[in-house]
Structure 1
Amino acid sequence: MKERNYEKLTFRMMSYIDFEEFKRACLASPEELTAFLSKGEFMEYYNVVDYLNLFNAMLKDRETNVYALFEGKTLVGVGTSSPANRSFGSQLIYWIRNGFHGRGYGLFFMYNLISRAINNGADYAELIIDRENIPSIKVAETLGLTKIKEWERPESGQGERNSGKFAAYYAFDHRLEVEAERLQVEPFILLQDLWFREALGQIEAPKMITRRNKFGKTRLSQNLRFFSDESERPKEA
């Protein structure tokens, strides 16, 4: 594998002071924001107020944490973590700025997004990827994520290149993997057990709460976390 140099990269939560750099990254990346995402839809008509409204809406969403990847002072990646389609997990979405592909930045960024989601208390991190989005699939498979399922739904999806064909990849909390190995089952089986017990009312899924950010002093809406204390987390079967 090609050796990468990540010394100049900084992964952190997005802050209000990043607005101008966020706007520049968006302006430089129309393809990245419209190919398999809908974030760039109508962006060609945006003025500064539209960009500001978009930026503020992202940061104020109380169920979403927004992360940034910087090379020096240049914003090269934006990612979000929000509740997954099913309970006990986080869904991750990211994009890399135009001109910074082919450097392994997507791999570095996704690794950190997954690590942060798991550290924040998620039992798994979920990526829903269009099967035509080969670079993102390569990132998921290089990181060793588990492909859970594939499906087709032409009416769903995002972006101008939306194929209607999707794949779900999961990264599991290491504790879940250890327990699965002990029981000689796949980690996904333990997740299914959690969902089943939740449906029966035996356990409750963790909820997003406001908690002091252990990664540094930031704004209030950057402190949203899943429950992460052992006493608060449901036990695996």
Structure 2
Amino acid sequence: MEDRERPRPVTRARALAGAVSVLAVVASAVGCSTTTKRVTVATTVHTGVTTPTIGTVTSDTGPTPTFGTDSAPTAPTAPTAPTTPTAPGGLPTTNNTPRPPDFPNAAEETLLKRLPALTRRRCTRTDASNRSRGATASLSCDLRDLYNVHTYIEVFGGVAAARREYGRVRTSQGLGTSIGPCTRAGVRPPGETTWRTGRSGVRGRVMCFRSDDRFWFVWTQDDVKGLVWASSKRLPSVRKYWIDDSDINP
């Protein structure tokens, strides 16, 4: 489980292309069924929208990322998700895609209020083709100037719906459950485990994997019926975002 004790705070394209390369790593990763975020094996600790610290994290639902080096200002293009749920695939960004005139609607406004101010200002409505099945609100947030990361933040009508989407992504990547941590020093994707923050119980599941040239972290946050996808060409960037500033406030 990942303990995500947080000191504080490109799009998601259902990147399913990395499934084959992931399978090889999974076999050697078996053995760690729990990870620590800000890292602590057994459950992940991750405190609110304020600065986080790594602890143990384990999670179960989401899309596809890839590693590489920080490639600048151009909006990343995420792989398409053949078998994945309706995961973001076109990688829209707030820099290049203006907010619709009717943004935010009531559900989006509620979700925006649960995010850190710096994140909130960088979000727009997720394109319909990239929105997860069953999401009641879905935001596409371009955080490249803050974390060199693009993220999709979604909420559902129930925890089960968020978990189903997470499970579809995990399956599309060929990942098992509880195969190891995502934030422990020296550990590289793939990984999948539960996560918690501080002294909280398990708050959801998290998976990490590489697809094409991007690294992805996908996790559920049960207390808000949420599902979040974050990706970057640099593993340290997406890890830092996951540890520092990725909570949705209940």
Q: TM-score, normalised by structure 1?
A: 0.27
From the two aligned structures, give the one with the greater helix fraction. Answer: 1
**Structure 2 length-normalised TM:** 0.26
Higher relative contact order (CA 8 A, sep 6+): 2
Bigger-Rg structure (1/2):
1
